[in-house]
Copies of this chain bind each other. A is one copy, B any other.
Amino acid sequence: MLKRLVIGRAKRSEELGETLLPKRLALPIFASDPLSSVAYATQEILLVLTLGGLAYLHFTPWIAGAVVALMVVVVLSYRQVVHAYPSGGGSYEVASTNLGPSAGLVVAASLMVDYVMTVAVSVASGVDNIVSALPALADYRVEMALVFVALLTAINLRGVRESGQAFAAPTYLFISGVLIMVGTGLLRYLLGDAPVAESAAYGIEPDPGDTHLQGLALVMLVLRAFSSGCTALTGVEAISNGVPAFRKPKSRNAAATLAAMGLIAITMFVGVTTLALVAKVHITDDPCRLTGLPGDCSSYIQRTVIAQLAASVFGGENSVGFYFIQAATALVLILAANTAFNGFPLLASILAQRRYLPRQLHNRGDRLAFSNGILALAIVAGLLLWAYKANVTSLIHLYILGVFTSFTLSQTGMVRHWNRELRTETDPAVRRRHHGARVINATGAVITCLVLVIVLATKFTQGAWLAVLAAIVLFGMMRSIRRHYDTVSAELAVTDPRSEMVPPSRVLAIVLVSTIHKPTLRALAYARALRPDQLEALNVAVDRDASNELQRQWEHYAIPVPLKVLDSPYREITGSVMDYVRSIRRDSPRDVVAVFIPEYVVGHWWEAGLHNHSALWLKSRLLFTPGVMVISVPWQLSSSARADRPAARAPGSVRRGEPTRARTSKDVSMHR
């Protein structure tokens, strides 16, 4: 019941086609991550640079320029991917096709780690922006973050298409809001009335370790700032992974969406960064390094860069414009996490289909979403947010490593792809196009590899090692899972159907009996109906008195089946039965032993706790014995009939277990 309320009614498999996305919905769904990272990319650059005080802020335009150039390269590269691989799978597909399954798995593992980080970082940053507008909520960061993850999970369990509609409006509001803010701010600057951030008057003392940096140390600081700025590139991936979800023509639509996303993201990023410099936003990872603060540094809540800009442009933190920008930013960040909720389960499902992950991840839920993948993502991201107290700056150190690993490998794969194409292609026009594409992808590969090295060098000791470790563990896990599935399917494969269908020479039946009641008698009746070659009842004498009483009653009722009693000095049933069955098999290895277990079924979970579970344990152990079949003969207590009765369902609700065709009322009454 609760499940229906949260998730909605089950969908038929044929409804899958309906969930394809038009471009205007695909953009917010797949691109809200790179777009929203505008909200923190500039800020992360400034946070690193101000480790050295205000002295190095003049590097900002150069760093931002490098990030923009990188983004152009990556977007161009991925447009080639989208065209070459319209079936989706994105970087994973590209890497595994062109560089082999291991490279594909490396990409897959890194992407999965980064999807988790996307959720964590975006939600944490969204919460930051909410706190910037409503400082009273500062103490509830973690709780808010977890609530948002739970909401996203519920929304996604309801299915892709509905989430697209829910997410389009905030994304477009955010884009227009930021562009209006940047436009207004720069216009005011040109008119000589430049906006001034609330922190413009504060100085920043350098971090003790980062004063008067020179030479290599300064280069490292700038590179670290660049690494942090590269968070703007996360999620570009998502569109190329999601090509199959686009409407036809899939590749063309995906490429167009990618280009639009790149343009919008670059415009916003450049605008926000320029405005931050103009308005002199002074932000630091430790408010106690700020000088000129009016009060105590520990109680000062630094606003995010976006918040400071909105306040300065629109006239203070009580203006409508400020609240609008904060609301849109927070919303789009929370929803950016949704990119991962689309990408992660899709990737997991592809991997599960290829048997690198448990096959449950390939099952579509009632609403046609990959429910298990969604839940896995939510749980891990929730744990991270809890462990890192929803702190963006701590979380961001674990981020983007996976993105650049997959960039590098997929671009390298693309170069190989074009090489192969060129080997067979003869049409000069096509060859020219392929050559051009190869140049783009080669450039992309070299540059993203360079960035990967920079990120690794500057972030490894700051927390990135954990992301690396997680990716390695995932990689190893996926390989062993694949190995396991391969072993099992090789073992199960039919080699000689004729001999494998040869029936056993005889069926020897045993009915387990503890006491004489209706379930026992029914089991005996059913066992006789199957006419086995030999039939006996078996009692394990855990309690000698009870066993004697059983034998007495057996004679009294004149039950026409021989009763055998086994001694069990250690008061335990399973081992005695297992051993007896094995001894039969030993005497006649070509026969099969059918073990009948009378069971009674109760209706309520708490009732189940009141009965021994020896039957369950015994059944699970017997399954390990060769040449055995285990036959449960249930006897339904009246409470179980109530629990199973279809009429007990809420009217109009559709449950798992709903029949495949209409049930007549006669049927219902029959099973009461």
Contacts and interface: CB of A to CB of B under 8 A. Distances in A.
Contact of A525 (B502, B589, B628): B502
A564 interface: no
Given A501-B521, A521-B501, A660 B494 contact: no
Given A525-B502, A529-B504, A571 B661 contact: no
B500 A522 contact: yes
Nearest to A666: B586
Q: Indicate the member of A13, A568, A619, A670 with the most B CB atoms within 10 Å.
A: A13
A583 to B, nearest CB: 8
A500 B517 CA distance: 10
**How many copies of the chain does the oligomer comprise?**
2
Contacts of A485: 610
Given A507-B529, A529-B592, A557-B497, A574 B657 contact: yes
A492 interface: yes
Main secondary structure of the interface of A (DSSP, over half): mixed
Nearest to A504: B529
Count class of interface residues, chain A: 35 or more
A594 interface: yes
Contacts of A501: 521, 524-525, 528, 559
Nearest to A477: B606
A659 interface: yes
Contacts of A586: 666-667, 670
A648 to B, nearest CB: 12
A500 B489 CA distance: 44
Contacts of A264: none
A430 interface: no
Contacts of A531: 530-531
A364 interface: yes
A162 to B, nearest CB: 18
B637 A623 contact: no
Interface string A68-102: 00000000000000000000000000000000000
A419 interface: no
B660 A643 contact: no
B504 A519 contact: no
Interface of A: 10-14, 358-360, 363-364, 366, 481, 484-485, 488-489, 491-494, 497, 500-504, 507, 516-519, 521-522, 524-526, 528-532, 557, 559, 566-572, 574-576, 578-579, 582, 585-586, 589, 592, 594, 596, 599-602, 607, 609-612, 619, 621-626, 628-638, 640-641, 643-644, 656-661, 663, 666-667, 670-671
Task: Please provide the 10 A-B residue pairs with the shortest distance between their CB atoms, ordered closest to farther.
Answer: A579-B659, A575-B657, A492-B517, A623-B634, A503-B529, A624-B644, A500-B521, A12-B569, A630-B632, A497-B557
10 contacts: A12-B570, A14-B569, A488-B637, A494-B521, A497-B521, A530-B530, A582-B671, A623-B634, A629-B632, A630-B632
